[in-house]
């Protein structure tokens, strides 16, 4: 669906009529991607990061955090267990950890592909040659949020990083035929409604195959500890508008939404989302992979998370996706 920037802004600001927006996004979700909810098993395999993003709890400047890294065998074993639990996609996520070289990651990807799962990488900015090698090793999808399209804000929040470089990484991933996921945080300090509208139009233009949208939640051990943080309702309106703009893509009900409200992901699934990414990381690692405080399920096991979500999805009258749940493009949308 085409929406002008002015129309997007109007919807973003319109708290009073948000239920109508959510219903519309829900109907479009039903029409274009159906009632299946695709589950992705999220493996948080290292919280070691070379970057300094001001919002992020695992930024390298946070010396309070105990760091961990799963070694190759442990990572592969975690993925194997996720496949046994029934996950058809595993998402390998980490900080930008340079231990995980091209050779190591390719070895891991090749091993995990043997479990007949789709592999999604979420490991940040890398060289073109790395992205190419990971694809050849069998990686199917890549997630990397642009975080914000306000370049000035981006550079304030991500010292030493370049917005242009991140954008070029996204283009490279597209060129290499990854299914591409990107997204933003809502409620960053100094982020305007207008800039969120620009973000949505940016994601539409790329276009992404998947868009993850979640509220910014201030972490106490970061420079943004005392900032306001994003609101759930505005995040949901942003996500619902993404569904209107790109009707056939995958949209996750993000974990950050549930951290703000016990029903956050349910609300998202009723407002345009069709994917959930339960954590399949085990033990202590869950707690240590703390991008933001109040992270849910830190004491649960992968099996518990899967069961809990199955119940929630069934209560919504939806079913759990049985396939890989990739992006099936619909050639032409009726306007």
Which residues contact ligand FES by CB under 6 A? Answer: 278, 297, 300, 304-305, 308-309
Tokens at residue 234, please?
Answer: 């505005």
Distance CA 113, CA 109 (A): 6
Distance CA 214, CA 29 (A): 18
Q: How far is the CB of 277 from ligand 5AD (least distance, A)?
A: 10
Q: How far is the CB of 308 from ligand FES (least distance, A)?
A: 3
**Site membership for ligand 5AD, residue 256 (CB under 6 A):** yes
Residue closer to ligand FES (CB basis): 251 or 253: 253
Peptide bond into 11 cis (omega under 30): no
Task: Name the one range near ligand 5AD by CB under 6 A: 17-25, 164-172, 189-197, 213-221.
Answer: 213-221
Residue closer to ligand FES (CB basis): 176 or 308: 308
State the virtual CA torsion across 111, 113, 114, 118 in degrees, nearest 10: 150
CB distance 102 to 130 below 8 Å: yes
Q: Which does 56 bind (CB under 5 to 8 A by kind): ligand 5AD, ligand FES, none?
A: ligand 5AD
* Residues with Cβ within 8 Å of residue 133, at least 6 apart in sequence: 102, 106
Phi, psi of 39 (to 5 degrees): -100, 135
Count the site residues for ligand 5AD by CB under 6 A: 12
Q: Which does 291 bind (CB under 5 to 8 A by kind): ligand FES, ligand 5AD, none?
A: ligand 5AD
Residues 273-312 that bind ligand 5AD (CB under 6 A): 291-292
How crowded is the C-beta side of 82, counted as CA atoms within 13 Å?
A: 33
Q: How far is the CB of 254 from ligand 5AD (least distance, A)?
A: 8
Residues 51-70 that bind ligand 5AD (CB under 6 A): 55-56
C-alpha distances out from residue 1 to 33, 147, 290, Å = 15, 23, 36
C-alpha distances out from residue 86 to 44, 215, 265, Å = 18, 29, 20
**Site membership for ligand 5AD, residue 145 (CB under 6 A):** yes
**Site membership for ligand 5AD, residue 265 (CB under 6 A):** no
Query: Footprint of ligand 5AD on this chain (CB under 6 A)?
Result: 55-56, 145, 147, 185, 214, 216-217, 219, 256, 291-292
């Amino acid at each position: 669906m085409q929406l002008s920037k002015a129309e997007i802004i109007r919807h973003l600001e319109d708290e009073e009529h948000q239920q109508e927006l959510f219903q519309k996004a829900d109907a479009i979700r039903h029409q274009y991607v159906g009632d299946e909810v695709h589950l992705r098993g999220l493996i948080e395999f290292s919280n070691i990061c070379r970057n300094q993003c001001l919002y992020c709890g695992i930024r390298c400047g946070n010396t309070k955090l105990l760091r961990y890294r799963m070694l190759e065998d442990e990572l592969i074993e975690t993925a194997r267990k996720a496949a046994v639990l029934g996950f058809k996609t595993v998402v390998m996520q980490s900080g930008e950890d340079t231990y995980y070289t091209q050779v190591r990651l390719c070895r891991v990807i090749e091993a995990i592909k043997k479990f007949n799962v789709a592999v999604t990488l979420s490991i940040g900015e890398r060289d073109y040659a790395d992205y190419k090698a990971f694809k050849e090793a069998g990686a199917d999808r890549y997630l990397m949020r642009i975080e914000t399209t306000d370049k000035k804000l981006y550079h304030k929040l991500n010292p030493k990083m370049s917005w242009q470089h991140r954008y070029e990484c996204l283009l490279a991933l597209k060129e290499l035929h990854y299914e591409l996921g990107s997204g933003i945080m809502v409620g960053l300090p100094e982020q305007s409604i207008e800039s969120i509208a620009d973000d949505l139009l940016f994601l539409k233009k790329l276009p992404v195959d998947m868009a993850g949208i979640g509220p910014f939640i201030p972490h106490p051990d970061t420079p943004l500890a005392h900032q306001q943080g994003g609101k759930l309702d505005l995040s949901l309106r942003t996500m619902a508008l993404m569904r209107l703009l790109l009707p056939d893509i995958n949209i996750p009900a993000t974990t950050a939404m549930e951290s703000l409200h016990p029903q956050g992901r349910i609300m998202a699934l009723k407002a345009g989302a069709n994917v959930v990414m339960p954590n399949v990381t085990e033990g202590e690692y869950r707690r240590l992979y703390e991008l933001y405080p109040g992270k849910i399920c830190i004491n649960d096991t992968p099996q518990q998370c899967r069961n809990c979500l199955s119940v929630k999805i069934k209560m919504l009258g939806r079913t759990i996706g049985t396939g890989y749940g990739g992006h099936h493009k619909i050639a032409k949308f009726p306007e």
